[in-house]
């Protein structure tokens, strides 16, 4: 069952574009030479928060404001981009927001969230622990809890898919990161609504393989840890609703190593002069691993975000950069 019709995604697109401009999709010759195919990058790192998540936050919060105009506040858990999305929308709509992050979270994402006016709370060792804490906070403070996966969030982030697939309906395959599932589910929703044959491949980290394991087993499979530099996809407990859509609409879910992610981040810097955070780089890492199968095809990559901190960027710059794929 699709989470949104084409009319609903088009309406969400108008609402999103009232706050942010459409992001570009760019063909980069150096990336195409490196991968051996015609590559088009959807630059969600060009949004006001540097990530695609802002789209979902705007649609979710606007719907919530219409339903509960006197809402006292919202709370959610994040590793950063979802929290910035909620903070951006909350500030635009005048709703107080509390964001729970795990200890040791990306300090620059924390700073960015605070700059949006949210109350930042640190709890737990990873996203799942922070997420479980939000329920207790919500009950104690009377706040509305925003889950990491929700139809309104999917409807919002689906707007990047509509921009991308309307611009390039002939894409053979699109590689997309999978965190809690809103991005890939939004893309599947739009692909199906437009009646296209584009294949959608989800990408996760070797160190956070929950969705890959779940896709293989056909049921939700949790892991004990999700220790990856790609913090935006550091999921260890899949969402059942997201998984159902992915099982029906995705071609496959692939995993990539930490070294391949670092290398892909470096390739984005050298080939496009764009910064990709770990989650934003995993589609390129996956394409490089599957370059023989994709040779000569027209392929899309979702650069979902560019919010890498300085410590990680230093690590990228110190990496050879040629560990995955051939040099331009």
Res 213 pLDDT > 60? yes
Which of 115, 130, 145 represents a domain boundary (last residue)? 145
**34, 326 Cβ separation under 8 angstroms:** yes
Residue-level pLDDT at 1: 60
Q: Which ranges of the chain does DSSP label H, i.e. alpha helix?
A: 6-17, 29-35, 54-67, 81-93, 107-115, 127-141, 151-167, 182-194, 210-217, 240-249, 258-272, 278-289, 291-294, 310-318
Res 136 pLDDT > 80? yes
Q: Is 192 domain-assigned? A: yes
Query: How many helices (H) and strands (E) in the chain?
Result: 14, 10
What digits encode the pLDDT tens for the residues 23-34? 999 999 999 999
Q: What is the pLDDT of the chain when averaged over all its residues?
A: 93
- Closest by CA position to 174, among listed 212, 204, 205, 201: 201
Q: Is 323 domain-assigned? A: no
pLDDT-based confidence at residue 126 (cuts at 50, 70, 90): confident
CA 44 to chain centre: 9
pLDDT-based confidence at residue 323 (cuts at 50, 70, 90): very low
Residue-level pLDDT at 320: 59
Q: Are residues 126 and 226 in the same domain?
A: no
CA terminus-to-terminus distance, the chain? 43
Res 113 pLDDT > 90? yes
Q: Are residues 10 and 91 in the same domain?
A: no
Res 101 pLDDT > 90? yes
Q: Are residues 188 and 45 in the same domain?
A: yes
Q: Are residues 234 and 182 in the same domain?
A: yes
Q: Are residues 168 and 87 in the same domain?
A: no
Residue-level pLDDT at 271: 97
Q: Which two tokens stand for residue 261?
A: 């992610």
Q: Is 28 domain-assigned? A: yes
Least confident of 9-18, 38-47, 121-130, 279-288: 121-130
Q: Are residues 220 and 186 in the same domain?
A: yes
Count of other CB atoms within 10 angstroms of residue 307: 26
Domain count, the chain: 2
Q: Is 176 helix (H, G, I), strand (E, B) or coil?
A: strand
Q: Please give the residue range of the domain that contains residue 86.
A: 54-145
What digits encode the pLDDT tens for the residues 235-291? 999 999 999 999 999 999 999 999 999 999 999 999 999 999 999 999 999 999 999
Q: Is 324 domain-assigned? A: no
Residue-level pLDDT at 328: 52
pTM above 0.75, yes or no: yes
Q: Are residues 100 and 221 in the same domain?
A: no
Q: Is 292 domain-assigned? A: yes
CA 295 to chain centre: 26
Q: Are residues 172 and 38 in the same domain?
A: yes
Q: Is 202 helix (H, G, I), strand (E, B) or coil?
A: strand
As a whole number of Å, the CA-based R_g of the chain is 18
Q: Is 123 domain-assigned? A: yes
Q: Are residues 10 and 82 in the same domain?
A: no
Q: Are residues 172 and 251 in the same domain?
A: yes
Mean pLDDT, residues 35-56:
97
Q: Are residues 206 and 76 in the same domain?
A: no
Residue that wins the pLDDT comparison between 3 and 243? 243
Which of 145, 174, 191 represents a domain boundary (last residue)? 145
Mean pLDDT comparison of 92-96, 139-143, 296-300, 322-326, highest-scoring range: 296-300
Q: Are residues 76 and 47 in the same domain?
A: no
Q: Is 83 domain-assigned? A: yes
Q: Is 327 domain-assigned? A: no
Domain at 158, CATH number: 3.40.50.1100
Which of 100, 127, 145 represents a domain boundary (last residue)? 145
96-108: b (≥16 Cβ within 10 Å) or e: bbbbbbbeebbeb
């Amino acid at each position: 069952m699709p989470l949104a019709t084409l009319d609903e995604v088009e309406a969400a697109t108008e609402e999103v574009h009232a706050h942010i401009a459409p992001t570009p999709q760019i063909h980069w010759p150096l990336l195409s030479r490196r991968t051996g195919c015609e590559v088009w990058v959807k630059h969600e790192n060009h949004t006001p928060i540097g990530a695609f998540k802002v789209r979902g936050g705007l649609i979710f919060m606007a719907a919530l404001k219409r339903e509960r105009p006197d809402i006292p506040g919202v709370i959610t858990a994040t590793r950063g981009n979802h929290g910035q999305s909620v903070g951006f929308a909350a500030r635009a709509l005048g709703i107080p927001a509390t964001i729970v992050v795990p200890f040791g979270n990306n300090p620059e994402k924390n700073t960015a969230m605070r700059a949006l006016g949210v109350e930042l709370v640190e709890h737990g060792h990873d996203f799942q622990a922070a997420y479980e804490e939000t329920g207790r906070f919500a009950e104690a403070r009377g706040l509305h809890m925003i889950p990491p996966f929700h139809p309104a969030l999917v409807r919002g982030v689906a707007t990047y898919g509509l921009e991308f697939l309307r611009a390039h309906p002939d894409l053979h395959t699109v590689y997309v990161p999978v965190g809690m599932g809103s991005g890939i589910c939004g893309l599947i929703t739009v692909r199906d609504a437009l009646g296209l044959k584009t294949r959608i491949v989800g990408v996760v980290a070797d160190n956070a393989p929950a969705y890959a394991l779940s896709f293989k087993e056909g049921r939700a499979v949790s892991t004990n840890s999700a220790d990856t530099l790609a913090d935006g996809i550091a999921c260890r407990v899949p969402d059942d609703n997201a998984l159902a859509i992915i099982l029906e609409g995705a071609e496959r879910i692939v995993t990539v190593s930490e070294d391949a992610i670092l290398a892909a981040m470096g390739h984005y810097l050298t080939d496009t002069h764009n910064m990709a955070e770990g989650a934003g780089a995993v589609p390129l890492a996956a394409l490089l691993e599957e370059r023989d199968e994709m040779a000569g095809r027209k392929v899309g990559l979702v650069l979902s975000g560019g919010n890498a901190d300085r410590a990680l960027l230093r690590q990228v710059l110190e990496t050879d950069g040629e560990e995955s794929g051939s040099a331009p």
